[in-house]
A and B are shown apart, each in its own frame.
Chain A
Amino acid sequence: MSEEFNWLDYVEQEESAPAPARRSGLRRFLPRLPRLPSLPRLPGRPRLPRFPGLPRLRRRRVDAAPGQPSAADLLGAQDERPLEALDDRLLQLRERSSADSQPEADAGQPLYDVDDVLVTPALLQKPGGVISADALAKAQEQQVELLRDIVGGATQDEGQGGRRLMPGRALFSLGALPRLIVASVLLLGVSLPFVSSNYAEGELPPSQFPVAAQGAAAVYSLLDSLTANDTVLVAFEYGPMAAGELDPLAELALRHIVARGAVPLIVSSSPIAVARAQNIIRAINRSVAAGGLSLQHGIDYFILRYLPGGSLGIRELNENFADVVRVSAKGVLTGLAFDSLDDMAAVALIAESAEDLRNWAEQVVPELEDTRLLAFTGMAAAPLAQVYADSRDEIFGLVAGYRDAFTYAEMLQAKFGASKPQTGQPEPEPASSNAGHDTQADQPDAAGAQAERAEATVRALVASLQPSPTAPSPTAPPPTLTPPPTLTPRPSNTAVPTATELPTATATVETILIVEVTSPQQVRIRRGPTRADDILRLARAGDSFEVLGANADGSWYNIALAPGLAGWIAEFLVEERTSTRAAFEAGQASASAGPPAGPVILRSVFRFSLGKTRPRYYQVNSPTTSDLRDYVLLRNRSQEIPRLEAMTLGSLAAALAIALGNVFYALGALRGRRREGRA
């Protein structure tokens, strides 16, 4: 160390190092031991002998490197502390020690052991030595321990805690054996279900959330009540560490949101999670690639810039939400414009630890008004998350762990897979669905479950024999799970329904005033002509609307959004021109007719208008079919079942190991105590 360049070159200012001075005897220890207590005066104990001149301290088992000064030398080099600086207990001790002082013993005499110093020979003859002597209270014992520690007492219990100062250099020490055995047993238990289905234990999670998990059911129904044009903030508060547990939950939440036609905005206070969010979307895209679907950044979802500073970043998200949504993770303008978190339909928080949930509960939840926080957590965070979910109305519910993920996926499948393909947007889930889940859950049909499990394990076996990558394989989805192809038009945020009720006779000749959005970013259409009014919807560059009027100073246009629905848009965001109604309606119709055409055209306008901030990394594929259901249906259930069974066996093995180990140690402790008592 000393040969290293001392680049800091410290200059002592406030707390300068003490100058060297000679000291001798016990007092050498005083500055280092501010709390050294007054030693008990045992009856008949001789006066405390003075320590000899300490030629060298008795070494502990590890020797200091030769040539380096020992602590004792250094301590000796410390100067006297001024009397005023000592606190009163030290003062007392000092007085007593000077009263007790005796002529110095010869240097070179061996250092007394603690017991020699503290105890009379009479006491030493008692069985059990000094510690068992009743003369020492527990606190005093601790002090004796301390003193021993300092002088390196040979009587210290070396076996305690099995500590060795230096780990063995042996190739394989026997001490590692119990650990290896426990690990092997656990590993074996967890691996068995992947090898054979004979070891399948336990029931699969219910296909609907039971009564006890009301919160989870609430989360499901809230996400299921989303509609197109809704935006959901999805917070990815987990790193790769929890990926095994939370990736399924995150994927399910995203799939559900997307399948309802809503747009997820992904945000995170962990940089790695931001980088991974893209991979999760890619995994979803890969799973639906067979259906020609893919999620597009900037349209179907957004990954926002990462929130540095932990809770401070989350606070900033809350205080300056408009700024956070402006920039994507790749440093590109998103074109999103939201004022506050209350513009979100919901906030879905996928949290790795209770700490993340606490951060959100402290920094975000108090400021939420109507928006609800939906919590998805791992098992570890569940107990604490439940406390917050119970104490705050704004935290809507909790989906925890892999088993809940399984149930969630089953519910999605039951809803989106079973119902017939319908045109138009999926119908909103009635609010009472929650109660329905509660009544019939918990007791799945035993025979059906059994059959299903048998089938599932067979499938699992098949799946485990096939080489397949981590993500659900796009080429070989289980045939039973493939959804029927449908022609449902994809709900588009930009499509404005055409006004069919208008009289067609006048339509051909009527000249109308329209405005076209020119701002490169997404713009907000509001309920009233101020920025404080609610946002009705968003519009992109190229969208045009019929003008119905303007406000007094002409800074806002009143525009028609749909028959009977009017909104306001700021003047500086649009360009005004005239057109005939027929031409306008034809344009609207073409914009909303072909599902592939609409988004693609708009996307290119959007992209090019951004110039240099054009995203560099995203490929743009135009979707061929557009069934949002695909997003929720394609999952690889056959991989989930062995995992669930492995979890059952694993926790059983863990419980057994913990129980056995502790019984062993408890018996050992009892035996030790009894032996002590007998002695």
Chain B
Amino acid sequence: MGRAGISAFVAFAVGLLTLLSLLLGDNPALFGGQPGSEVLAERLALPGDVLLRLVVIVVALSIVIGIANLLYVHVGRVARGKFYSAVLLASFAFTIYWYVTNRGDSSLLEAAQVPIESALASLLFFSLVYGGARVMRKRADIWGLLFVAVVIIVLLGSLPLAELAPVKAWSDWLMAVPVSAGARAILLGIALGTVVAGVRAMLGQDRSYRG
């Protein structure tokens, strides 16, 4: 077995174990509800629990990788004289310093983090409207037209104006029927893709951990 084989085997074994454990664990009814089935169900659920906990901690710890990457990339850029990377590093260091010296005072969050993030989200409004106004420039076809029409109907339908009551009725119907149908289809499609790609990853067929 080559080296790629080892990780593929690990993937297969761990994947099978986790999947079985998550799928079948913790439901005594599945084993006929016999006296011993409760113990069996619990035992079956255990490996899934442990692996889940392990991976959750690994994922949480990966923030350290993120910070390492941030520092590596931006220290390098500062060395090349990039001003904004210096701003980023300074802000990072200051926040850590603030939090440590002020014993967990999170008012910095309210003073800086929330306003910037809210303001950025507000900017999205302008970007979205401006982009929405130019849909027909990129997609000058029936689909662009349909898209714009739906956007306008839903926007107008949200207005609390009595004159627009019929538009509101259309908008409600749109939401209840076609939008519901389309959303279901996209969700089903993504779920299907998730299952197929997930199963393939578990079969040890993915490039990412082979070699």
Contact = CB atoms under 8 A, between A and B. Distances in A.
A–B touching in complex (CB under 8 Å): yes
A384 interface: yes
B135 interface: yes
Contacts of B104: 330, 616-617
A654 B183 CA distance: 24
A635 B72 CA distance: 47
B151 interface: yes
A276 B152 contact: no
Contacts of B148: 658-659, 662
A319 B48 contact: yes
Interface in A290-323: 307-310, 312-313, 315-316, 319-320, 323
Nearest to A3: B80
Nearest to A239: B117
Which secondary structure dominates where chain A touches chain B? helix
A410 to B, nearest CB: 14
Contacts of B103: 616-617
A386 interface: yes
Contacts of B132: 654, 657-658, 661-662
A450 B74 CA distance: 57
A244 B118 contact: yes
A155 to B, nearest CB: 22
A316 B120 contact: no
Nearest to B181: A387
B140 A666 contact: yes
Given A205-B160, A309-B56, A658-B152, 16 more contacts: A13-B211, A202-B161, A239-B117, A241-B120, A243-B117, A309-B60, A310-B59, A313-B56, A387-B187, A644-B160, A655-B151, A657-B130, A659-B152, A661-B132, A661-B134, A669-B140
A307 B175 CA distance: 33
Contact of B179 (A202, A316, A383): A383
Interface stretch (A106-114, A178-186, A509-517, A571-579): A178-186
Interface residues of B, number: 57
27 contacts: A161-B138, A183-B126, A183-B130, A203-B160, A239-B117, A241-B121, A243-B118, A275-B106, A275-B109, A276-B114, A308-B60, A310-B59, A312-B52, A316-B52, A330-B104, A358-B187, A383-B179, A386-B180, A648-B161, A650-B125, A651-B156, A657-B133, A658-B155, A661-B136, A662-B134, A662-B148, A665-B135
Given A320-B53, A390-B180, A658 B117 contact: no
A157 interface: no
B100 interface: no
A307 B156 CA distance: 39
Contacts of B53: 316, 320, 323
Contacts of B117: 239-241, 243
B64 interface: no
Interface string B132-162: 1111111010001100100110011011111
Nearest to B109: A275
Given A241-B121, A617-B103, A666-B145, A383 B183 contact: yes
Contacts of B206: none
A550 B32 CA distance: 33
B126 A651 contact: no
A384 B175 CA distance: 9
A307 to B, nearest CB: 8
Contacts of B26: 319
A239 B114 CA distance: 9
Nearest to B72: A7
Contacts of A313: 56, 59
Contacts of B162: 203
Interface in A566-621: 616-617
Nearest to B122: A244
A307 B57 CA distance: 10
Nearest to B55: A312
A269 to B, nearest CB: 10
Nearest to A323: B53
A658 B121 contact: no
Interface of A: 4, 13-14, 161, 178-179, 182-183, 186-187, 201-205, 212, 239-244, 272, 275-276, 278-279, 307-310, 312-313, 315-316, 319-320, 323, 330, 358, 379, 383-384, 386-387, 390, 403, 470, 616-617, 644, 648, 650-652, 654-655, 657-662, 665-666, 668-669
Interface of B: 26, 45, 48-49, 52-53, 55-57, 59-60, 76, 103-104, 106-107, 109-110, 113-114, 117-118, 120-122, 125-126, 129-130, 132-138, 140, 144-145, 148, 151-152, 155-156, 158-162, 172, 175, 179-180, 183-184, 187, 211
A4 B76 contact: yes
A182 B136 CA distance: 17
B129 A309 contact: no
A205 B159 CA distance: 10
B175 A272 contact: no
9 residue pairs, one from A and one from B, having the closest CB atoms: A661-B133, A308-B60, A669-B140, A309-B59, A665-B136, A202-B160, A240-B117, A655-B155, A665-B137
A308 B60 CA distance: 5
A241 B138 CA distance: 29
Nearest to A201: B161
Given A240-B118, A312-B52, A330-B104, A665 B57 contact: no
Contacts of B184: 387
Nearest to B59: A309
Contacts of B158: 379, 651
Contacts of B160: 202-205, 403, 644, 648
B52 A655 contact: no
A470 B118 CA distance: 13
Given A316-B53, A386-B175, A665-B137, A658 B129 contact: yes
A470 B110 CA distance: 10
A202 B159 contact: yes
Most buried by B among A244, A387, A658, A665: A658
A644 B158 CA distance: 12
A655 B49 contact: no
B129 A186 contact: yes
A651 B106 CA distance: 34
A179 B136 contact: no
A308 B133 contact: no
B155 to A, nearest CB: 4
Contact of B109 (A13, A14, A279, A654): A279
Contacts of A379: 158
Given A13-B211, A244-B121, A648-B159, A315 B52 contact: yes
Contacts of A241: 117-118, 120-121
A14 B145 CA distance: 49
A241 B122 CA distance: 9
Nearest to B99: A275
A312 B56 contact: yes
B59 A308 contact: yes
Contacts of B48: 319
B112 to A, nearest CB: 10
A320 B55 CA distance: 14
B159 A316 contact: no
Given A203-B160, A386-B180, A657 B129 contact: yes
Contacts of A661: 130, 132-134, 136
B105 to A, nearest CB: 8
A654 B56 contact: no
A387 B183 contact: yes
A320 B161 CA distance: 49
A651 B130 contact: no
B49 A319 contact: yes
Given A243-B117, A662-B133, A14 B155 contact: no
B187 A182 contact: no
